[in-house]
Structure 1
Amino acid sequence: MQELLNEKYDDISILFISSNYPSADRPYHGAFVQQIVKAIGRKGVKCAVISPVSIFSLRYGKYPPKISYEYIDDNKFVKVLRPKYISFSNKKLFIFNTKYITQKAYEHSLSLALSLLDFSPTIVYGHFLYESGAAAVRMGVRLGVPSIVAVGESSFWSVEPVGFHKATEDFSKVGGVVSVSSSIKRSLIKQLKIPEEKICVLPNGVDLSHFYPRNRNEMRRKYKFSPHKFIIAFVGHFNERKGPQRLLSAASDMENTGIIFIGDGSIPLESKNILFKGVLEHSKIPEILSAADIFVLPTLSEGSCNSIVEALACGLPVITSKGEFNDDIVDDEVSIRVDPKNIKEIKDAIMKLYNNNELREKMSANALRKIKKYDINNRSQKILDMMAELKKHSNFNKQISTALPVGTLIKKEK
């Protein structure tokens, strides 16, 4: 079967463009992009990544190597190129925005890196709208191949500096769009005028060979957590949108409770209830999640939240926000939905699970059943099928994308 799949994709070679991609000093940065690259690479498809690095990124650690190779499996590797570019940010100067210069510098670095590829791409895939998505569309036109843009932003903040009129032009020649939620799809149609038939809704996936429940007691011993505490896990940036401070306020006076905060950010978090606070390698996250009893994320907005999907894969009951941005990935069987700004609602939901072990076990079992739908291998398969059809039916003789209605290729799962 695998050989047949490989033959189906023999003529596909993918260039991934993403400013978010893990490095030694930022192992969590863009891990979701790396997962899809590796899932597709495991199917025998030729892949390469160009992840431009701003020269001002030294505040995050030393520059990653310009050329590196990532092991996938069975002697398969992905070449990762990290050319440097100068970011001029997105400052408004009278009627001009420096975002335009940043975009040009970004795309110039991509052009320089092209010569270092080991193959000629037949598909260009850009992750997020700017800078990578717009660059992927232009690169596809330049190379005479289709482009696909994956859109997972919780809002179109990267579009605002260039304006929606310019963005509509920039994405007019995109071959297809992978939207991580139904709500984002609606925004793409309304605000960027992207035809509905070009958009496939595919929520983020998770590598179930990596994210699965470990033995809770063993993980608590490994991370030196008490076997008797009720432990809450949080994964995300420490900022207002993600809401770690709202979780901390809700759980501040709860007895026999500990909180794990995985991430970093500008909001200071201090409490005697904090068991762990900081960044972890992505490979360690399923271990520490397995030490927890529940997962809480009172977020104000999301695209398709990777950390929720990963928590479900580890069998954790989830407390998260009401809002259409979460509707594609959670329901009442696996989660309690709350007003993310209402501390009392968050606390009441925590107490409901704290006091009901039977409910926690039921939600955990439901989570492990539900998460099979979000297997990264299934998602990568659908993206590859989309690419194969797009490549087959696209006409780039005049370097203009006339894509097949790719949205018809992905049947909605119930």
Structure 2
Amino acid sequence: MRILVISNNYPSNAAPTYGVFVYNLIQKFVALGHEVNVIACSNIVKGGGDTSAPNYGSENASIHYPKIITASNKWILGYNTHLIGEYFSVRAVKKTVEENRIKFDVVYAHFLVNGIIAVKALHDYGKPIYVAEGELKNINLRKKYYKAVTYHKLISKIKGFVAVSPQIKDNLIEVGIEEEKIIIKPNAVDLTKFNPKDKRWVREKLGLPLDKKLVIFVGRFVHDKGPLRVLKALEDKPGVALMFVGKGEQELISDKIAFKGKVPTDLVPDYLSAADVFVLPTLHEGSCNAIIEAMACGLPIVSSDIPEIQFQCKPDSSILVDPMDERKIRVAVNTILDNEDKRKEMSTNAIAYAKKFEITNRAKDILDFIS
């Protein structure tokens, strides 16, 4: 099958960690014998689009990085400026397909924003368009940009949807998608890359303390993800050091922090393996890649008692709490760190459960749905 992927969330030499989860899935599509072209539009004022050898990993698909003008998503007299970027994205997708003479049997758009672009740019080709959706807020947000009749006309031209959770599926149904058009496939992990490594070895390799319990957070440093809540919850706990992998607007300053910052994608499994517990008090998710990757590396999970996370986690390998309650976050972490036998049992259970989310199986299921 010849698959044309439309995604504005894909790695490049300028942003090698951007959209890695999309990249991993696309590589599996190719490995399963399919021909894949990816069109990844990017803002003309930003870097990207470098056609030299990729620095984010081996690339087995054909990648196209057209430059476009975007204008954020501000409301001006009832008009949202997102539609300016959408207009130029539609033009760029059309032009890229025509100039490169891309032949395709199906379109796979990552997130509804790109699904609508695909409908506007490629519907006349008569090929089925499928959309993967992983963010609850995206679905309702997109709806506000259009008149109701226009919105429903656009989404009616999408053949099928891959939802990463039951909550996403329910939200798609709420905005008018027929249930039979939707399958649920949570995000997945490459178990050849994410698996437990010797803790002492990776700590020595990364220069991390050998004499402390390590708690790791992976995600954006923003209020909704909760790194400051993690810091406040554990700042006074003796014998513990914290690792924050990511970046964002929140400032994290403490003597407790053993590591803070972005890391290359291929080093994330090492940082996870160095830790004793993973903590993410997130306020909302679609299907959290960081949690699946942490489980695959053998980490017990402390996260949020919300439907999206309940769907991903099991009680024998996780403790879910109110993400805004720092005291409960601390109690959950203490429960794991202060009981070595419990921590080891939860670790074993996490590794076993992560196998349910293996990425090759997810790719096969999506391709079967499309077929």
TM-score normalised by the chain length of structure 2: 0.95
Tell me, yes or no, if the aligned pair for 1:295 and 1:319 is still in contact at 8 Å: yes
Question: Is it true that 1:168 corresponds to 2:157 in the alignment?
Answer: no
Tell me, yes or no, if the aligned pair for 2:40 and 2:63 is still in contact at 8 Å: yes
What SS is found at the alignment partner of 2:169? helix
Tell me the equivalent position of 1:407.
none
User: Match of 1:52, as an amino acid?
Assistant: C
Question: Is it true that 1:145 corresponds to 2:127 in the alignment?
Answer: yes
Tell me the equivalent position of 1:65.
50
Tell me the equivalent position of 2:39.
50
Q: Give the direction of change, closer, same or farther, for the CA distance of 1:26–1:40 in structure 2 (3 Å limit).
A: same
Tell me the equivalent position of 1:15.
4
Tell me, yes or no, if the aligned pair for 2:12 and 2:54 is still in contact at 8 Å: no
Q: Give the direction of change, closer, same or farther, for the CA distance of 1:116–1:275 in structure 2 (3 Å limit).
A: farther
CA distance in 1, matches of 2:108, 2:40: 12
Deviations 1:133-178 (A, max 9, x none): 2112334422111011000014236415414724333211111100
Question: Is it true that 1:359 corresponds to 2:354 in the alignment?
Answer: no
Deviations 1:260-300 (A, max 9, x none): 11111000000111111111111110011100001000000
Tell me, yes or no, if the aligned pair for 1:69 and 1:78 is still in contact at 8 Å: no
CA distance in 2, matches of 1:276, 1:70: 24
Query: Offset at 1:25?
Result: 3.1
Tell me the equivalent position of 1:181.
165
CA distance in 2, matches of 1:141, 1:350: 51
Structure 2 spans left out of the alignment, 5+ residues: none
CA distance in 2, matches of 1:257, 1:194: 48
Which of 325, 336, 350 matches 2:333?
A: 350
Alpha-carbon RMSD across the aligned residues, in angstroms, is: 1.8
Query: Offset at 1:64?
Result: 3.1
Query: Offset at 1:55?
Result: 1.5
Tell me, yes or no, if the aligned pair for 1:67 and 1:81 is still in contact at 8 Å: no
Tell me the equivalent position of 2:25.
36
Tell me the equivalent position of 1:155.
137
Q: Give the direction of change, closer, same or farther, for the CA distance of 1:272–1:69 in structure 2 (3 Å limit).
A: closer
Q: Which moved more, 1:94-103 or 1:311-320?
A: 94-103
Question: Is it true that 1:24 corresponds to 2:13 in the alignment?
Answer: yes
Query: Offset at 1:44?
Result: 1.5
Query: Offset at 1:374?
Result: 0.4
Structure 1 spans left out of the alignment, 5+ residues: 1-11, 389-414
Tell me, yes or no, if the aligned pair for 2:209 and 2:258 is still in contact at 8 Å: no
CA distance in 1, matches of 2:128, 2:98: 19
User: Match of 2:152, as an amino acid?
Assistant: T
Tell me, yes or no, if the aligned pair for 1:123 and 1:140 is still in contact at 8 Å: no
Query: Offset at 1:71?
Result: 9.9
CA distance in 1, matches of 2:242, 2:357: 27
CA distance in 2, matches of 1:138, 1:46: 23
Tell me, yes or no, if the aligned pair for 2:136 and 2:171 is still in contact at 8 Å: no
Tell me the equivalent position of 2:110.
127
User: Match of 2:153, as an amino acid?
Assistant: E
Aligned residues: 369
Q: Which moved more, 1:324-333 or 1:308-317?
A: 324-333
Q: Give the direction of change, closer, same or farther, for the CA distance of 1:313–1:188 in structure 2 (3 Å limit).
A: same
Q: Give the direction of change, closer, same or farther, for the CA distance of 1:123–1:15 in structure 2 (3 Å limit).
A: same
User: Match of 2:127, as an amino acid?
Assistant: V
Query: Offset at 1:256?
Result: 1.4
Tell me, yes or no, if the aligned pair for 2:229 and 2:281 is still in contact at 8 Å: yes
Question: Is it true that 1:330 corresponds to 2:319 in the alignment?
Answer: no
What SS is found at the alignment partner of 1:336? strand
Tell me the equivalent position of 1:228.
211
Q: Residues 273-292 of structure 1 correspond to what in structure 2 (within 5 A)?
A: 273-292=256-275
Tell me, yes or no, if the aligned pair for 2:9 and 2:19 is still in contact at 8 Å: yes
User: Match of 1:167, as an amino acid?
Assistant: Y
CA distance in 2, matches of 1:118, 1:338: 52
CA distance in 1, matches of 2:32, 2:109: 20
Tell me, yes or no, if the aligned pair for 1:70 and 1:78 is still in contact at 8 Å: no
Percentage identity across paired residues of the two chains: 36
Aligned structure 1 segments of 4 or more residues deviating by more than 6 angstroms = 67-73
Query: Offset at 1:351?
Result: 0.7
CA distance in 2, matches of 1:140, 1:208: 35
User: Match of 1:283, as an amino acid?
Assistant: D
